[in-house]
């Protein structure tokens, strides 16, 4: 198992973090920044020699999270079914029709300007060293909501290994991506 996927899953399984996340999900325009800060605090305490950073350039690209001890770059997204559909960054109907197969590195070759697919594309770029773990974290607010966006957010898969942690009113999906 990816060292970083395991560490991030442990963060989401921490009851104090889960409770705080449930509270913060209703705060607008600060959720991802808050999550970066909480991960930073938690990782620095749990793994002080990891070199865990937030908003740092690696391979000439700014990533949400990164680390040195076991090389890692990562992107975080906090989204929900009540958000604007553009948060995915692609054609929502197309994604909804293909939930039976994962988004791959070849799909990432398309140019996305924003959203979840842009973050995935950033992680899959060839400039990232092959020994670097590529982590994608998607936190879905209110995953039980039955909207097209809600179904895409809970059902979307990416090429790599995914694990989930369910909380009160949220679902954390953590991938260790395979650049293929």
The pLDDT tens digits for 95-107 are 899 899 998 877 7
Give the global pTM.
0.95
Q: What pLDDT was estimated at residue 104?
A: 85
Q: Is the confidence at residue 22, as pLDDT, over 80?
A: yes
Q: Cα-flanking dihedrals φ and ψ of residue 169, to 5°?
A: 75, 15
| 94-to-30, 68, 123 alpha-carbon distances in Å | 29, 37, 22
* Domain boundaries defined on the chain: 3-177
Say if residues 108 and 120 touch (Cβ distance below 8 Å): yes
Per residue in 35-94, pLDDT (tens digit) is 999 999 999 999 999 999 999 998 889 999 999 999 999 999 999 988 888 899 878 888
The pLDDT of 3-19, averaged and rounded, is 97
**CB distance 46 to 110 below 8 Å:** no
What does the pLDDT read at residue 179? 81
pLDDT at 109 over 70: no
Q: What is the mean pLDDT of residues 2-28?
A: 95
- Helix %, strand %, coil % for the chain, to 5? 40, 25, 35
Taking Cα atoms as reference points, which of 162, 155, 154 lies closest to residue 178? 162
pLDDT-above-90 percentage for the chain? 71
Distances (CA, A) of 125 to 3, 48, 92, 97, 101: 21, 29, 23, 25, 21
């Amino acid at each position: 198992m990816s060292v970083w996927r395991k560490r991030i899953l442990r963060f989401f399984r921490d009851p104090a973090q889960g409770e705080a996340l449930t509270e913060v999900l209703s705060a607008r325009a600060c959720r991802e920044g808050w999550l970066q800060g909480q991960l930073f605090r938690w990782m620095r305490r749990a793994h002080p020699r990891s070199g865990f950073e937030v908003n740092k350039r690696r391979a000439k690209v700014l990533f949400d999270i990164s680390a040195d001890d076991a090389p890692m770059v990562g992107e975080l997204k906090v989204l929900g079914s009540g958000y604007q559909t553009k948060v995915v960054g692609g054609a929502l109907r197309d994604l909804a029709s293909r939930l039976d197969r994962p988004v791959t590195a070849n799909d990432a070759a398309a140019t996305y300007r924003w959203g979840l697919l842009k973050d995935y594309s950033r992680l899959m770029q060839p400039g990232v060293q092959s020994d670097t773990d590529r982590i994608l974290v998607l936190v879905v607010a209110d995953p039980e909501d039955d909207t097209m966006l809600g179904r895409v957010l809970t059902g979307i898969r990416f090429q790599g290994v995914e694990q989930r942690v369910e909380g009160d009113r949220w679902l954390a999906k953590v991938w260790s991506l395979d650049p293929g």
